[in-house]
Amino acid sequence: MLAITREVAPSIVDCELTHLERQPIDFTKAQKQHKEYCAALSRLGLKVISLPHLSLPDGVFVEDPAVVVDEIALINKLGALARRAETPSLAEELAKHRELMWMDGNGTLDGGDVLRVDKNIFVGLSGRTNKEGFRQLAEVMEPFGYKAVEAKVEGCLHFKTACSFIGRHTVLINPQWVNKATFADYETLAVDPSEPGAANALLIGDTVLCSQAFPRTLDLMMKKGFSVEALDNSELLKAESGMTCSSLIFKSRLA
């Protein structure tokens, strides 16, 4: 398994924000936390490909510009106009690993709105992803046997801010932001109500990477028997991010 990441840029202090009030971001601390994140990915068995930072504030969030499956990589048209300059260098790296397909026209889609569980690809319509973006993704993925499922999300930036797959046929969700019925074919585990942002977690093998900012939800998962590792991502949380945002994970062609 490969993980593409990108170094944090000093300009992250000017990141895009939609639902959070702007807070000062400690760049040095953010760098340290990101390095610890990459070290955790490596420790859990991933080969980490680290791209140099861009001058763009949100460039570290490599999840958004592309959706990668075993067969191809779809290069998205990002919902935030200011972020579209992030795409070319990421596409250049992805071209070494996958055939590329490109979104066009009026479709917009952020990878943070796309949750893949086996052959099901759930796509949340948000302020960054529209119906045309969903349609194009569904059209691209269908020939490879993937079923795209349209969903709704409200109250947060991205669909995966509100839900993430944590293994054992289970989706971690914030039911205030996404309808539990979206995952009728799966078990769901609701975050602690006092920790609305806790639903974004990253499954690697049998380990769920979570933010240590949400100890009650972490405890809920542990009591359910999930193997959980908590990381400090306090500075990147201020940039409206989560555990999945800073990596793009997929199988190597040699796997």
Domain count, the chain: 1
Mean pLDDT, the chain, rounded, equals 96
List residues bridging with 170 in a β-sheet.
167, 187
Burial of 228 (0-12, 13-18, 19+ CB in 10 A): middle
Query: What tokens does 173 get?
Result: 């969700």
Backbone angles phi, psi at 248, to 5 degrees: -125, 110
Per residue in 193-239, pLDDT tens? 999 999 999 999 999 999 999 999 999 999 999 999 999 999 999 99
Which CATH number covers residue 244? 3.75.10.10
Q: Structural domain of residue 86, as residue ranges?
A: 2-250
- pLDDT at residue 6 greater than cutoff 70: yes
Per residue in 120-169, pLDDT tens? 999 999 999 999 999 999 999 999 999 999 999 999 999 999 999 999 99
The pLDDT of residue 253 is 81
Q: What is the mean pLDDT of residues 4-23?
A: 94
The pLDDT of residue 37 is 98
Query: What tokens does 125 get?
Result: 């319509």
What gap in Å lies between CA 175 and CA 60, rounded to an integer? 28
The pLDDT of residue 175 is 97
- pLDDT at residue 255 greater than cutoff 60: no
**Given the DSSP bridges, would you call strands 2-6 and 47-51 parallel, antiparallel or unpaired?**
parallel
What gap in Å lies between CA 154 and CA 115, rounded to an integer? 16
- pLDDT at residue 68 greater than cutoff 70: yes
Classify 111 as helix, strand or coil. helix
Residue 255 lies in a domain: no
Per residue in 95-134, pLDDT tens? 999 999 999 999 999 999 999 999 999 999 999 999 999 9
Closest CA to 211 of 221, 222, 200: 200
Residue 131 lies in a domain: yes
CA 47 from chain centre, in angstroms, equals 18
- pLDDT at residue 254 greater than cutoff 90: no
- pTM listed for this prediction: 0.95
Asked if 199 and 177 touch (Cβ cutoff 8 Å), the reply is yes
Residue 244 lies in a domain: yes
